[in-house]
Amino acid sequence: MEYSADNVTAARNLQLFVYLCSSMATFWTYYYICSLHEEVLFKWTFLLWSRWTKVKVLYITARYVPFLITTMNLYLTVAPNENTNKCQISINIITSLSLISLGCSECFFVHRTYVLWEKNRILLVVMLSTLFAVTVSSFIIEFTAAVTSHSTVSMHQEKYP
């Protein structure tokens, strides 16, 4: 069986993506194992005993949602799946979690910078405008790419059953 250059390129790109996801998961796991004593001693003690605020929710979301994203990426790349609808749902969940994580970490950054700059309203308007522009462009780019990849896969499956 002969493979076209496009098929070989797609397989090579998928293999590179698997390597990147695997190495990212390995480094994150290593980092958290090495810093687990600090995590439990300082962060969890503080998080458990402090009151619930918006900033605490932003921090927890920005800190721990990437674990879900990495796990789902590894599952999506390693587990074989012939059902394109299930694959598309997984991609949409990963995209949504990525945007939630990005939004929470950026809001956390904006809030921290706003407080450190003594609640300067001009700076707040500039940062919120930038955050809005980045969020809108991220939604457009992420979901357009996901729809394009889904339609490309569907066309190939119709063409080559």
pLDDT tens digits along 10-50 = 888 888 888 888 888 899 889 888 888 887 777 777 778 88
pLDDT digits (tens, 9 = 90+) for 138-150: 888 877 775 655 4
Q: What is the pLDDT of residue 118?
A: 93
Q: What's CA 152's distance to the chain center, in Å?
A: 23
Q: How far apart are CA 134 and CA 106, in angstroms?
A: 10
The number of beta carbons lying within 10 Å of the beta carbon of residue 8 is 10
Amino acid of residue 78 = V
Let me know how many helices (H) and strands (E) the chain has, helices first: 6, 0
Tokens in use for 85? Answer: 């609808």
- Contact between 150 and 88 (Cβ < 8 Å): yes
Write down the pTM of the prediction. Answer: 0.70
Looking up tokens 């698997």 gives: 18
Amino acid of residue 121 = R
Q: What's CA 151's distance to the chain center, in Å?
A: 22
Query: Which helix (DSSP H) or strand (DSSP E) does residue 55 occupy?
Result: helix 54-78
Averaged confidence pLDDT in the chain? 82
> What's the angle, vertex CA 86, arms to CA 7 and CA 91, rounded to 5?
70
Give yes or no for residue 61 having a pLDDT over 60.
yes
Q: How far apart are CA 76 and CA 87, in angstroms?
A: 7
Give yes or no for residue 121 having a pLDDT over 90.
yes
Looking up tokens 């293999």 gives: 15
